[in-house]
Amino acid sequence: MENSQIVFFIFSALILVTAGLVAFRPRPVESAMWLILNFFLTAGLYVLLGSHFVAVIQVLVYAGAIMVLFVFVILLLNLDPRELGTDSSVSWGSLILFVAFLSFILLSLHVTTPELLEKMPPIKAGSTFGTVEALSKTLLTDYIFGFEMAGVILLLAIMGVGLLAYRKINNPRIVNGSERP
């Protein structure tokens, strides 16, 4: 087995472990930190596949921007520890059932589709596959409608967050729960 295959399997196993920790940790901030590690490991897999641009975008967009937003929302909610349910945890039976179900799915995929494990043909030396130029040319020629719609949806989401965060004060004399003269 080659070194890149060993690293691939290590990264894949760590991605599965961190995904489980995201789902089963009782505190939201702790889950968010495990999710950031999961994003970095996924970027590592993209590097192994030779798609460096997607790896950088994975780190910048997901581990950077979106996770900052998640942590900000978690901290903004300022939840009481009793609301988080820290007293209860996932039982061992459900964890074993989850791992058994996941193993069954992976084994059945391996048995039914062995061609997924075959090696892909190598990329030719002069190929532009995975480069920034090839990706941007494809996005702006073949998928321009979807690309523009994603921008519009993101703009609407930003406007929606702004509207939800905007609080109008009904009585300007009441500030922080106390009445001003």
User: What is the pLDDT at residue 72?
Assistant: 75
**Co-location of 77 and 132 in the same domain:** no
- Of the candidates 4, 46, 41, 6, the residue with the CA atom closest to the CA atom of residue 22: 41
Domain-located, residue 108: no
* Encoded amino acid at 50, one letter: G
Would residue 106 count as lying in a domain? Answer: no
pLDDT (mean) for 38-53? 85
By the 10 Å C-beta count (0-12 exposed, 13-18 middle, 19+ buried), 6 is classed as: exposed
Domain with 54, as residue range(s), is: 1-81
Residue at 109 is within a domain: no
CATH number for position 62: 1.20.120.1200
4 and 76 together in one domain: yes
Is residue 132 in a domain?
A: yes
- Please identify, among 81, 113, 136, the residue that sits at the C-terminal boundary of a domain: 81
User: Taking residues 3-22, what's their average pLDDT?
Assistant: 87
Residues 6 or more apart in contact with residue 12 via CB below 8 angstroms:
45
* Residue-level pLDDT at 142: 93
**pLDDT in the model for residue 82:** 62
Contact 33, 63 (CB under 8 A): no
Indicate whether 141 belongs to any domain.
Answer: yes
In-domain check, residue 177: no
Does residue 76 share a domain with residue 1?
yes
Residue 5 lies in a domain: yes
Q: Is the pLDDT of residue 165 over 90?
A: no
Report the number of distinct structural domains present in the chain. Answer: 2
User: Per the domain annotation, does 96 fall within a domain?
Assistant: no
Span 92-114, average pLDDT:
73
Is there a single domain that holds both residue 133 and residue 65? Answer: no
Check pLDDT > 70 for residue 33.
yes
| Residues 134 and 70 grouped into a single domain | no
CB atoms within 10 A of CB 71: 16
C-beta separation of 164 from 82 below 8 A = no
Regarding whether 142 and 72 lie in a shared domain, the answer is: no
